[in-house]
Structure 1
Amino acid sequence: MNDGEQDREADIQGLLRQQAALAQFGELALKGERLDEILTQACRLVGQALGTDLAKVVELQADGQTLLVRAGVGWKPGVVGVATMKLSESSSESHALRTGEPTISANIEDETRFEYADFLKDHGVRAIMNVAILGSEEKAPFGILQVDSREPREFCETDILFLKGYANLLAAAVARFRSLDEMRRKEKELERALVECRHGAEQQNFLARELDHRAKNMLAVLQAALRLTKAQDVPSFVQVLEGRVAALARAQNMLAADRWQGADLFEMLRDELASYLDGSSGPQAELDGPKLMLPATVVQPFSMALHEMATNATKYGALSSQTGRLRVSWKAGEDGVLRLHWVESGGPRLHGPPDRRGFGFRVLTNTLRAQLGGTISMGWEATGLICDLAVPLACTRAP
């Protein structure tokens, strides 16, 4: 094996380690019950994936100016849970939080932009990469994921993309725990109110069961997406996974906005196809149907099905070409069945069904048939995909 082949083999092994770390951490983030444990394991996995001795998560404190080493691996006693850093114009951490982009110092001894904490130098750190762990739109960033190397190192583009995707998963895990803490806080407030008004006991029990049911459904869907998503490389894996998580998040937001009563089908489609409804050269997608509120039990699984169809159209179908067009029409009959007609045209010519059918196809078939009790008919015409969906709205199956 020559040097070039050895380098390629090393790159492949590195990507495999990074994908394995993403998959392991994704499963841990869904199952873990203690945030400190999850943060520590996150540091361990990222250090293994990138081949560094040291890694840490630093948490932004309430004053907005101090970072605490919340978790880490490879550090001497007296660092994790103790060591702090101040945000300033001369700190790389400030730059990472302000820009939202990774900040890298290949050799801190030659660094002229930033100053680094003494405990880093005491541990022999020579190179460092910071990636912000972002919060939601309403929340401040949680902090920063940092990998530290005792050798000077030029982190490559693959390393950067991996760490950004990893930090996004970590942010989702943190958001999950923040949501759980908020839920527990609100539950305590509600319990105090129930002491004063016992007539609300039955309603509270119902809400608690419903919330638990929906949370478990969401986690189950996320776990399936993590396990079944396939990609050729880490950036593709992250992109596909983030798209599926975003589709779930949009469905959750719509349900929450309508107090978990349901969501409007037109709004669901508009959110999913927004960039194709009003493009600079004219719309590529057309929506045609009456205002229709989908029941809460239908919204989440149906949004996933729509996302997979839109993703397929964007990657391989009509929306992958500027000349392509998509028309989606729907109606609800007197029998209480939603019938949706999806027609693609003007894109790449089709030569029949695809040779292989991946996770997206399984989402479509399993969701529509097994979970919603509906039907799906797909025709791969030369001019484009034609798909007919039928979903009963009045009586759906339990997930």
Structure 2
Amino acid sequence: MKDACVIGREGDVYMGDSRLKDIERLQALARTGLMDGPGPGAHQRAARIAARLLDVPVSLVSFVDDARQYFSAHVGLEGDVARESGTALSHSLCQYVVKTHEPLIVTDARQDPRVCDNGAVRDMGVVAYLGVPIRSPDGHVLGSFCVIDRKPRDWHEDDVAHMVDMAAMIESDLRLRETLEERDIILQEMSHRVKNLFTIINSMLRMERSAHDTATALAESMGARLKALSDAHEMIVPVVNASRSTGVTTTLDALMRKLLAPHGAENETRISISGEPVPIGAKAAVYLTLALHELATNAAKYGGLSTDGGRLSISWLRTKDDTIEVSWEETGVDWDADATPRSGFGARLLSIAVEGQLAGEIKTQIDAGRFQRKLHIPLQRLQS
């Protein structure tokens, strides 16, 4: 028996550790918020239905990160596993579904070289197992919807079909949760923008008043800047529609210049924008607009665009691993090199937009006379 288990380590279920640790998958899992609390009612109902329909003692909705599995719903568990709603990976068969991206069908785990030395077989009485993938809205396998029997069982095609159908119901719940979270983020952002509107207008007035001799000229220039600001704001409104859109809609250069136009992007002595052509897709444009507008607003309130002698430099390049590295650098203001990077809702928004939705990374560096953020975003995500 033990020799069979050792031999089984050469099988596919042991060859997918990189999938467990995939950063984009883990970020998609974290966005669900399902690893640390009771799951929604839809998950509980699915687990109960599966237990009755397939006549099994145990049914689980299991989500798997790189260290443990957590049950957002379970039927038939007892003891510490039930109280904790999860186990370490040492006692997880659901991890193999994540590793292979395929259903795992086990007639008798005690005799199956793929899983016979898993702790769930030894300590939890798992004998027969049937698990199917649960995928995120963007296609990552987050876990497994599974049923367990305490005795050997030959699973039929209809059993697998039933589980796949119910897993699709769980996936629909995940899509709905993500849509509602996106809508809430947008509502918060629109409220945040209204609060910042007077600050932005005051900044534009301060910049403009010294450049025009008449009220008419000032009004015309301010009107043009407000129109540019309105155009940029419109880009974040259709979040639901953007999620259904496909194809390239704009470029990174065009998006930058539209967003920076209200702050004087045409004034190259104050703002410089440079980089190679990078196409931007509809959905990416929405979240990139959120992030860049937040950076621009902060620059106008606190940073390089808040003083007459300040300067903003934006550049980007494509790296060898098909990542776009955007450098946002503000100078002309005395920052405390030991200061904490700007935080609060704006920092959370940046994280959600860049790290959560675009699978990117944000790095911040503060020197006495310089504030810099670097955004690293996969090109593939920018074109989605």
TM-score range, shorter chain: 0.3 to 0.5
**Greater C-alpha Rg:** 2
TM-score by length of 2: 0.40
TM-score by length of 1: 0.38
Greater relative CO (CA pairs within 8 A, separation 6+): 2
